[in-house]
Amino acid sequence: MAEDGKLKRDKPWIMRTYSGHSTAAASNALYRTNLAKGQTGLSVAFDLPTQTGYDADDPLARGEVGKVGVPVSHIGDMRALFDGLPLDQMNTSMTINATAVWLLSLYVAAAEDQGVDPSVLRGTTQNDIIKEYLSRGTHIFPPAASMRLITDLITYTVKDVPKWNPINVCSYHLQEAGATPTQELAYALVTAIGVLDAVKATGRVPASEFGNVVGRMSFFVNAGIRFVEELCKMRAFVELWDRVTRERYGVTDPKQRRFRYGVQVNSLGLTEQQPENNVIRIVLEMLAVTLSKDARARAIQLPAWNEALGLPRPWDQQWSLRAQQILAYESDLLEYADLFKGSEVVEAQTQRLVESAWAEVQEVLKRGGAVEAVESGYIKQRLVESNAARLRAIESGDQVVVGVNKYVDGAPSPLTENLDEAILTIDPEVDAAQRAALVRWKEERDNAAVEQALAELQRVAKADENMMAPSIAAAHAGVTTGEWANTLRQVWGEYRAPTGVAGAIVKASGSGPAAETIARLRKRLAELEARMGRRAKLLVGKPGLDGHSNGAEQIAIKARDVGFDVVYEGIRVSPEQIVASALEEGVHLIGLSILSGSHLALVPEVVERLREAGLGDIPVVAGGIIPEVDAERLRRGGVAAVYTPKDFELDNIMSDLIDLVDRRHAAE
Amino acid sequence: MPPSDLPDDAARVLSADKAAVSRALNLVEDRRPEAQTAVTELLAALKDAPKAAGGHRVGLTGPPGVGKSTLTSALARSVRRGGRTVGVVAIDPSSIRSGGSLLGDRARMSFDPSDAGLFVRSLATAGEVGGLAYAANSAVRVLAAAYDMVVIETTGVGQSEIDIMHVADTVVLVVQPGSGDVLQFLKAGIMEIPDILVVNKADQDELAQRAVADLRGALQTARAVGATGGRDAGWEPPIVATSATKGTGIDELIAALDGHRKHLEATLATRRRQGEVQWALDLFTRKHGEHGLSTLGGAAQLQARAERDLDDGETPLSLCEHLSREYVAALGKTP
């Protein structure tokens, strides 16, 4: 077949790198280089203030500006981001959710400024706010308002920007939060069903055109290291989506029933120890989503080998892009039909996943659907339990992670010889520069037009009209991201999602060394309680805008299970709130979790404010993706201990925490 | 905390100094025998606080998942906006296996950290299976000395729905539409307890209306057999529909609370005293059962004794402790 050398090769998937940092201009330069290296699409990473609807000058944005992505505050930033990049020729994926309507409006307005008709734009807005409540944590508004924004964007693009993917239903972040393949399948499908049902309920799409909406649904999926099962998971997705679209929505056109998906392979399993091994993990995971022609990803972005250490540099990202290019252009993969059709093994595993996922879909629908199961905490609790089980398996060695719990000794890696230079650091001046630019922007624009645009935005938010039109008008008028979001906060309010930790049930370890360790820790806490008169109380806080709460959740659950009283406040709390809670709750110890890289701004601020409040004697520990040089600075500034992804043995952390409380009590 | 600090610290509690309130709460949570003198002294010093006498102690109970935390948060914010200060005691269950707990309430609340007139303390039930936390009663007394309104949010399971009666002036039972809880409450006799009923999550009109109607029916049934109005035959429990997430119905709830507080004016002191007597005896009975009661002379005699001792400055906890010691001593004498 392929030996004749004439067979037509399949078109490769779109190759992207999730990138953006510092400023719009710096990110624009990065995009140009990426495209020159052979990348075929753009994937914009926005910073956390932009994702959660704050301007750089908001107190909550402290330390976060330009960190995990690019700040886009207004149409001027959006123009600069795509300067010299003709938008009619780009395929742009934007990882944006709560503020997706706003960022798409800025994109459309910037295209209009370039003289491009919005109807030709191609790309994707992630726009899946449901999973934000479960995993990623950048939601702003209550579920009903979020669902309205999702459907407003969908009904707009299906009509006016027909080649746009208005939503990427994300199972990706569910796996990052611990989901098993069955859970990943089921919860992504119920989210898609919830969205389609909501679009239907708007009554804005005639029944005859509903197939167009279904046909534009796309998914954003994860691929982990068990790559055979992951390959079967993708085939199960194809089968289940075909079933849902046919049976629930009566779509007859097979093209509109196709399961279209993009991928970012697993970041959760990337290790800080022997980080070069991550390259092999990334390649294996990519195979899961490319080998099946009948279930192949349409777009892929790969993480970099050093993501567990800090932000990757351009060279690190280039290495991952090269992996894609070698598979697509050098290997013969794209010359063959589906490799697994008729394979009994693959087919049987696929069917097992189809059946278990379908049962869980029915369970959620029985509970009223995705939104209900988010609000009640049902889904979140299931995820927290799965993640706890996964971490326990790694800790006990039941799940092998090379370089972490097995084969840990090896020669030192030349790649990390100079560790502090093996990651990207963001210039701390970026924050101030963005704030200054914002002041200039507000001085130079027509503020009367801004007022008018915001008034119209508010009117529409209260009415039953699409939010896109007033948002595009606001983009042209020079409105900022913070102004757009604050206007809507006033109308709809904000939402704090269930944390899922309180009811999470972690299976007892039974007997053996793990159970003995737990018993020992519990005994120590009971003895400490007898001496102190009160049970040791731990405050787990997530300062800043970072919503990746898995680490904080697992620490909270583990601490409860060894016998701490644990106060967990959920995501996005300010240093002031953490100090107020520490004071009111009378805690013995504070643990802070930060994954966005803003630890140098936020942790010392908490420590300083504790001192000012007369609570300087409460030990503070910090956890997150914290490079050693930063950890040293934090320890010098009074932080008792710093934990990073390599500290996977939670029991050891717990033992340290008990020591800290014990020592402080002894000193009293 | 050395006892010599007490008067000063008690004075600072009265002026709602958060650090002092927090220290006082740490103290009343302290279970060490050597701390009990200080606890008794502190509570005695706070006993006649002007805020405590004039204030309002509100208990929120109801099954898990009805949105008690979100409702507590919405209620506290609205009461603050009206100018009154608020102290919250949020109770979560302790794990029987580990003794630890996850106190998740703050995650559902969004408060201004710089607000000096709002204080939230989470307590774990710590061994009081199904009941209120060990220190709940004392914690309420501390907060009542510092804040105008004290809200106690229970775990909503088992004994806590009864215990709350002994701590709160007004008991609010929270249910959600379409849950079938009402029938369970009727069966369990819980309809006798609440002074106010709240149907939360009343965003879905039809379901909420049906839940309100169900409750009204249940109340009528209960009234027919003389089992409503909790401890007060002259009070008809109002039913309020709220949506804590949308903030609707909160003003109505506050009005209902204020109405009940006003209704209590003349009998409040008695009601609080009865609650304390009952709590002390319940604690004792839970520990030592009917045999404990009869060994020390029977329920009626112990009740009279409790009233006297509480007048003399005992707290329910210290009283229970003394009774226990007497019981154990008596056991030693029995042949």
Res A533: pLDDT: 93
pLDDT of A322 over the 80 cut: yes
Torsion-angle region of A222 (φ positive above 0: left; ψ -120 to 50: alpha; else: beta): beta
Q: Hey, are the CB atoms on B102 and A502 less than 8 Å from each other?
A: yes
pLDDT of B5 over the 60 cut: no
Please give the Cα distance from B93 to A546 (Å, whole number). 29
pLDDT of A111 over the 90 cut: yes
For A583, which of B18, B32, B246 is closest by C-beta distance? B18
Do A277 and A405 have their domain in common? yes
Please give the Cα distance from B140 to B150 (Å, whole number). 7
- End-to-end Cα spacing for chain B: 43
In a domain? residue A613: yes
* A241 in Cβ contact with A189 (< 8 Å): yes
Number of domains in chain A: 2
Please identify among residues 94-123 of chain B the ones whose CB lies closer than 8 Å to any CB of chain A: 94-95, 97-104, 106-111, 113-114, 119-122
In a domain? residue A289: yes
Query: CATH number for the domain including A14?
Result: 3.20.20.240
In this predicted model, what pLDDT tens digit does every residue of A536-551 receive, in sequence order? Answer: 999 999 998 888 888 8
Run of H or E residues at B170? strand B170-175
Mean pLDDT, to the nearest integer, of A2-29? Answer: 85
> Which residue, of A351, A386, A410, is where some domain finishes?
A410
Do A405 and A520 have their domain in common? no
In a domain? residue A423: no
Range of the domain at A66: 2-410
Neighbours of A435 (CB within 10 A): 16
Q: Hey, are the CB atoms on A585 and B103 less than 8 Å from each other?
A: yes
Decide if A476 is catalytic.
no
Instruction: Answer with the residue of higher pLDDT: A345 or B316.
Output: A345
In this predicted model, what pLDDT tens digit does every residue of A570-607 receive, in sequence order? Answer: 888 889 999 999 999 999 999 999 888 889 989 999 99
ipTM of the complex as predicted:
0.91
In a domain? residue A505: no
Neighbours of B204 (CB within 10 A): 13
* A632 in Cβ contact with A643 (< 8 Å): no
User: Within 13 Å and on the Cβ side, how many CA atoms surround A381?
Assistant: 13
pLDDT bracket for residue A458 (50, 70, 90): very high
Q: Determine how β-strand A42-45 pairs with β-strand A565-568.
A: unpaired
Q: How far is CA A396 from CA A83, A406, A509, A649, A650, in A?
A: 52, 11, 10, 9, 11
Instruction: Answer with the residue of higher pLDDT: A598 or A295.
Output: A295
Please give the Cα distance from A548 to B284 (Å, whole number). 47
Do A48 and A181 have their domain in common? yes
Output the six-digit token pair for A518. 């737990």
In a domain? residue A233: yes
Of A417-426, A487-496, B255-264, least confident by mean pLDDT is A417-426
In a domain? residue A61: yes
In a domain? residue A490: no
Please identify among residues 605-624 of chain A the ones whose CB lies closer than 8 Å to any CB of chain B: 613-614
Do A399 and A524 have their domain in common? no
In this predicted model, what pLDDT tens digit does every residue of A158-193 receive, in sequence order? Answer: 999 999 999 999 999 999 888 999 999 999 999 999
Decide if A18 is catalytic.
yes
Res B226: pLDDT: 61
Strand (E) positions, A385-512? none
> Which residue, of A376, A393, A410, is where some domain finishes?
A410
Nearest CA in chain B to A533: B30
Res B179: pLDDT: 66
pLDDT of A224 over the 60 cut: yes
pLDDT of B4 over the 50 cut: no
Q: A315-348: string of b/e by CB count within 10 Å (b at 16+)?
A: ebbbbbbebbeebbeeeebbeeeeebeeeeebee
The answer to whether residue B7 neighbours chain A at the CB level (below 8 Å) is no
The answer to whether residue A502 neighbours chain B at the CB level (below 8 Å) is yes
With H, G, I as helix, E, B as strand and everything else as coil, classify residue A44. Answer: strand
> Which residue, of A376, A395, A410, is where some domain finishes?
A410
Q: Hey, are the CB atoms on B35 and A533 less than 8 Å from each other?
A: yes
Do A517 and A372 have their domain in common? no
Decide if A548 is catalytic.
yes
Do A406 and A534 have their domain in common? no
Do A390 and A241 have their domain in common? yes
